Amino acid sequence: MKRFGEKLRAAFTTRAWRAGGYSVFAAVLVVAMAVVANLAVSALPASATQLDMTRNRLYSISQGTEQALAALDRDVEIYWLVPEGRENPTMEQVLMRYAEFDRVTVTQVDPVRYPGFAAGYTDETVTENSVLVVCGERSMYIPYGDMWTYSDYDTYAYYMTYYETEYLDVFAGEGKITGAIRYVTSDSLPVMYYLTGHGETGVSDSVLDAIALENIRAESLNLLTEQAVPEDCALLALFGPVSDLTVREREMVEDYLAAGGQMLLTTAYTAEPLENLESLLEDFGLRLTGGYVMESDSRYYSYGYIDLVLPSIGSHAISDPLREGGYTVVMPDAQALELGPERAGVTVTPLLESSLTSYIKQSVEGLDSYDQTADDREGSFMLAAAAENEDTGARLTVFGSTRFMEADFSDMVSGANLDLFLNAVNWLCRIEGGVSIHPKLLTGDYLTFDDGAARVLQLALTVGMPLLFLAAGLGIFIRRRRR
């Protein structure tokens, strides 16, 4: 009779035990490989493991943000003020993208458990899913409500159609957060001075607010009370003057530009000659043609108005984000620019151009109709241009319309006009990664059928598909029975 030890050894050497042992080993190996794979994948950034399939790239960050974060030379802390379990999914996805950059740390803080945390940075009442951006001694609090534009409160959210105005919600959180990062990492804010005293078109509060969001301080300036353009002027702007600069004003601006200054001009129609202003433009190889540009081809004007020109968008650091994103710009009451005498070291780049079928109404006063006549000059015209003097470093951007960046017209093209304007301001102020970040509409594309098509589709899905599967199964059954 075998002893117990011999029986036990024999049991471990049977074919069944060996087969079972191999199965157990294989199962353990597969589990171990799965654990290692999960650990490796969890260490990857969210952009590598989560694919953003939304039409508006809602859960991704834009190229402008990537440029700004890649250029950081100091550490930034982003505190997400939200209790566990109350996180907004859009905010969570976007903040994960920020956390992928070496200089950015995202930390979730429960404002209920730590009610005094935010008090060290802001006096405002903290709301869930708000954000604090901190760098050294500088900080900025972004309320959750400011990161969403709701249809009933902000005209930037609406989208114009031919028959009605449909109000939509917009996520503007990325622009707010990236703007806050630029603010806390800046030693000082650039100043944009906009001139007064020449019948200029007033700049709306919405445009000034948008400029402030880019962390640029805007202040009015009357050169008649100054001896020179202020030393802290990062950008000199002139919005739609209808009377000319004085000779002394022109000289001050010339001195500013000769020292590498930056200037932005938007034009407005006037019958008065602007010789001193045009002299400044000619220093950059540009001229104004006067009058208004009209379009005769309905493909290139908007909502049935021939003076709402839809220009083509050129290639430049200012316009590339809109062109590559497939956006459209509308130019109301636009004046044309043309190349003047060439200037040494000056490069001129068209930003916007009308179609070959456009024409200029040279004088619009007292006209009963803007329809094209034989006297009108026809062709493609520059409606905006950027120029740079490589010798002095001076930059100039000219838009042939003053009203184009205002909400009434920018909203027609989902804010693209305002973005183009802000891109120009950032380029002129030489802000690294200063491309304006487009808010993202929370809209989807819907598949719509008329009643007849809907009934056919319903029958196909509820009757046709089951019959098809039944017929396929019956055919397989009969074929097997015959074998």
Report the distance separating Cα 196 and Cα 438, nearest Å.
30
Nearest Cα residue to 216 out of 447, 425, 468: 425
Residue for token pair 């028959």: 163
What is the structure's pLDDT at 460? Answer: 78
Question: Which tokens belong to 158?
Answer: 């609406």
What is 44-186's CATH number, 2.30.30, 1.10.1760, 1.25.40, 3.40.30? 3.40.30
Rounded Cα distance between 92 and 177, Å, is 13
Pairing of strands 395-399, 262-266: parallel
Write down the domain spans for the chain: 8-41, 44-186, 191-430, 449-483
Residues of the chain scoring pLDDT < 50:
1, 43-44, 46-49, 51, 53, 151-168, 444-450
Classify residue 201 by its DSSP letter.
Answer: P
For the question of whether the overall pTM of this predicted structure is more than 0.85, the answer is: no
Which contiguous run of DSSP H or E holds residue 135? strand 130-135
- Is 191-430 in CATH node 3.40.50.2000? no
pLDDT in tens, 196-225: 999 998 788 888 888 887 889 999 999 999
Please tell me the predicted confidence (pLDDT) of residue 25: 66
User: Could you give the CA distance from residue 398 to residue 211 in angstroms, rounded to a whole number?
Assistant: 17
The Cα 106–Cα 412 span in angstroms is 36
Q: How many CA atoms lie within 13 A of 74 on its CB side?
A: 13
- Tokens describing residue 15: 């074919």
Give me the amino acid identity at 132: L
For the CA atoms of the chain, what is the radius of gyration?
32
